[in-house]
Amino acid sequence: MNHISPFSGKQTVIAMSVSLPLASGMVMAETGDNKDIETMVVSGSLMQGPDVVIDSTDLDRQQAVDLSDIFASDPEVAVGGGFGPIQKAYVRGLEDTFLNVTIDGAAQAGYMFHHQGRLMIEPELLKQVEVAAGAGEATNGPGALGGSIRFETKDPDDLLYGDQKIGGLVKGGYYSNTEGYKTSGTVYGRLNNNVSALATVLKADYDDYKDGDGTKQKDTESEHNVGYAKAVGEFDDHRVSLAYEHRKEEGFRAHKPNINQGSGSFYSADQENVRKTLTAKYGYNPVENEWIDLEFTAYHTDNDLYHNAPDQVLHPKKGKYIQWMPIRGTMTSYGIDLRNISTAGRQEFEYGVDFRHDKADLQMDNPNWPDATEKGHVMGVFFQDRIRVTDNFLLSAGVRYDRYETDQRSNNAKPVVKLKDNGWSPNIGFRLMATDNIELHGGWAQAFRGPRVRELFKLDVAPSATPRKGETAENIELGVIYRLGDLTLALKGFDTTIDDVVGEGDNGFGNIGKLETRGYSARIAYQMDKLTTSLNYSNNKPELNGKPLNDDSLGLGVDVGDSWFAKVNYAYSEQLDFGWTGEFVQRLDKKVNDGTTYAAKAGYGVHNLYAQYMPLQREDLTLSLTVNNVLDKQYTDHASYSTGFRGEGIPSPGRDIRVSLAYAF
C-alpha cells in the first residue's frame, strides 16, 4: 500500500535501526487537517508502529551477511548463533517461532529443527525490515503471539538513478575471519513507462570462522547461492508485482550445529537448506475514491532441509558406531492475504481476510523409520479502526478471528488426529501528544494461536499430545517520549503473558504452562550537524512457569542479560561517512525462589567500526570497510546456545575485517 504513516515516516527510516517513536509524534502534532487522514496507517504493536526499522543503508554499512548482522543495531531483537544456519531471532526474549514473519507478505511459517534457525534471508535483497514487538494490531496476521517481523525486498525503482532507464550493479566483498567472499550482480530497468524489472544472482562462500582466541570453530563453513527476480507493473490506479527467490545454503557441519563437536552432536555431514518463494501482489488505489485502497497477496514457499548422514557414525560419548540415516524435510506454505483501507472523515478502517496452509513432510532413508507427514491451515478475518479523536490524540481498536485445523499423529503407529480450535484477538491502543515535547503511547492486546504443524525434524519421535488448548497471549505496554530540539528521550515498559503455551513436555507436544516476559527499554538520541549519536537499553525477563528460560528452552526463547547498544555516526561529507557501534551485555546470574541456580552467562563488550566512501558525485562507486569485534573479544552471545544438558555451545566470531566494492552503471 502506498500510504506513508505519520507514525512511520521517512524520518525514522534514515535513522540507524531506531525505535519508531523517535520521530512519530512531531508529525502527529503538525497534521491537524482532515486532508491528511489518509496518511494515518499505523501497522505495528499497540499504536507505536514498528519498534525497529532497519533500512538498506544500515545493512550496507554493516556489510551484512546473516540474520545477526541485520539486527545488529538494536537490543529489542537478539540473534543467537555464531554463523548463519544456526541463527535465531528473539524479540523480547521470545523465539521467532512466536512471531508472524513475512517476506513481501509471504508468510515464513513452520519450525524446521530446534538446533538450527528457520529464517533464511539475503540482506543484500532487502529494502527495509520492520519489527513489531508483542501482540498488537489485528493486521499483524494470525498467531502473532510475540509480534511480527516484515522483510521488504527492493523494487527496480529503488535502484534506478534519476531518469535512468536501465542499469546494473556489481558487488564484491572479502571477509577476513572466514577468509570468505561474496559477489553479486544485478540488472534492472524500465521495459516501458509502466513495467520495470530486476534480476539478481549472488554467490558467497565462507570457511570455518575463528573465535576471539583465534581457534577455528570446526564445521561452521557455509556456501550460499541466491537467485532473485521481480517485475512490477503500474497502470494508472493499479499496481501488480511478481517476485521469485531461490536461496540455497550448504556446508559440512554437525548434525546439531549449535553444539560443539564431541558434546552430543553425534556426527558431521553435508547439509543443505533451500528456500523457494513465489509472491504475487495486486493493488488498486483510485485517487478519487477514499473507500478503496486494496491489496491482494498470494504466495507459495518451500523450505527444504537435508542432512546427508553416513550409514554408520561414531558416537562421541559412547565410543562406538551406531546406525544413522539421511534425513530430508520440507515445510511448504501457501496462502493469500486480501485487505482494504477505507477513509471516512477522521477515521480509517483496515479490514480483510487471510488464509495459510502448511505441510510438513519428513523423509527418512531407512525402512525401519517410516516417513511422516503433517498438515494444517488457518483462516482469519480482521478489522482495525484508527480514529483521530483530536489533532493530538489518536485511538485505535481492532479485532481478528482465526480458525485453525491440523491433521496430526500422536506417533507414526497411530492414525491421524484432527485438532481444531478458534479464537478472537482484540486490541486497543492510543497515542497522545500531551505537550509540545511529551508524547504518550500504549495499549492492550490479545493474540490467539490454535494447533499448528509441529517441528519438522521431530515428527517421527515427538508424539502429539491431545486434547490441546489454543495459546493466548496478552500484552500490555506503556511508553513516553520526550523531545527537546535535537535531543530525544524514550522509555517503554511491557508485560506479556502466553497462557497454555505449546512445547515439548513429558507427554509429548502439548500445553506446558505459562510463558511470561516483562521488561522495559530506553533510548537517548542526539543529533548535531553531521554527528548522530544514540544509546539503547533493553531489559527482558522471560520465564516459563515462574522459572527463567535457559539454553535448553529451544523453540521458546532465551534469557539475555541487560543489553546496551551505542552508535556514533559522522557524515563528514556527501561522499564519506564513518562510525562506531558498541554492544555491551551485563553478566547474567539466574536463581529462582526454590534455590535453583542456572549456569551464569559472562558479560561482554564488543566494538565495531565502519566507513563508506563514494569518490564520485553520483553513487556509482562505493567503497566500504567494516571491522567487527575490533578488540578480538572472546565471548559467547547470550542469545546463543552456551551450555545445557545437550552439551556445550560454540563461542562467537572474533575480529572480522570486511572490505567491499560496489559499482553501479
Cell digits of residue 297: 497477496
Instruction: Tell me how far apart the alpha carbons of residues 41 and 441 are, in angstroms, rounded to a whole number.
Output: 16
Cβ(130)–Cβ(52) below 8 Å: yes
Tell me if residue 176 falls in helix, strand or coil. Answer: coil
Cβ(610)–Cβ(603) below 8 Å: no
Say if residue 358's pLDDT is above 80: yes
The better pLDDT of the pair 409, 488 is held by 488
Residue 215 identity: T
Cell digits of residue 664: 553501479
The predicted pLDDT at position 412 comes to 56
Architecture category of domain 10-397+431-664 in CATH: Beta Barrel (2.40)
The gap from C-alpha 228 to its chain's centroid, in whole angstroms, comes to 20
The predicted pLDDT at position 45 comes to 52
Please choose, from the candidates 124, 195, 188, 120, the residue with its C-alpha nearest in 3D space to the C-alpha of residue 160. 188
Residue whose C-alpha cell reads 524435510 in the numeric block:
329
Give the pairing of strands 372-390 and 597-601.
unpaired
Q: Is the peptide bond before 467 cis (omega within 30 degrees of 0)?
A: yes
The predicted pLDDT at position 459 comes to 84
Of the given ranges (14-23, 283-292, 398-407), which has the lowest mean pLDDT?
14-23
The predicted pLDDT at position 137 comes to 93
Task: Write out pLDDT tens, residues 604-616.
Answer: 999 999 999 999 8
Backbone φ and ψ of 71, nearest 5°: -105, 30
pLDDT band for position 658 (50/70/90)? very high
For 338-367, b/e burial (b = at least 16 CB within 10 A) is ebbbebeeeebbbbbebbbbbbbbbbbeee
Sign of the dihedral through C-alpha 304, 309, 311, 317: negative
- Measured at the alpha carbon of residue 243, what is the angle toward residues 174 and 225, in degrees to the nearest 5? 30
pLDDT band for position 324 (50/70/90)? low
Largest CA distance in the chain: 76
Average confidence (pLDDT) over 521-544: 94
Please choose, from the candidates 352, 233, 356, the residue with its C-alpha nearest in 3D space to the C-alpha of residue 294. 352
CA distances from 349 to 28, 41, 382 (A): 18, 9, 10
Q: What is the mean pLDDT of the chain?
A: 86
Instruction: Tell me how far apart the alpha carbons of residues 424 and 216 are, in angstroms, rounded to a whole number.
Output: 50
In this structure, the number of other CB atoms found within 10 A of the CB of residue 597 comes to 9
Cell digits of residue 46: 499497540
The predicted pLDDT at position 259 comes to 85
Average confidence (pLDDT) over 109-116: 90
Top mean pLDDT of 163-167, 235-239, 453-457 is at 235-239
Return the half-sphere exposure (C-beta side, CA atoms, 13 A cut-off) of residue 657.
2
DSSP state of 652: P
pLDDT band for position 313 (50/70/90)? low
Cell digits of residue 138: 489485528
Tell me if residue 347 falls in helix, strand or coil. Answer: strand
> Read out DSSP for 138-171?
GGG-TT-SSEEEEEEEPPGGGT--TT--EEEEEE
Residue 281 identity: K
The predicted pLDDT at position 23 comes to 31
Cβ(386)–Cβ(396) below 8 Å: yes
pLDDT band for position 461 (50/70/90)? confident
Residue whose C-alpha cell reads 488498486 in the numeric block:
284
Cβ(11)–Cβ(5) below 8 Å: no
Cβ(121)–Cβ(168) below 8 Å: no
Instruction: Tell me how far apart the alpha carbons of residues 113 and 3 are, in angstroms, rounded to a whole number.
Output: 38
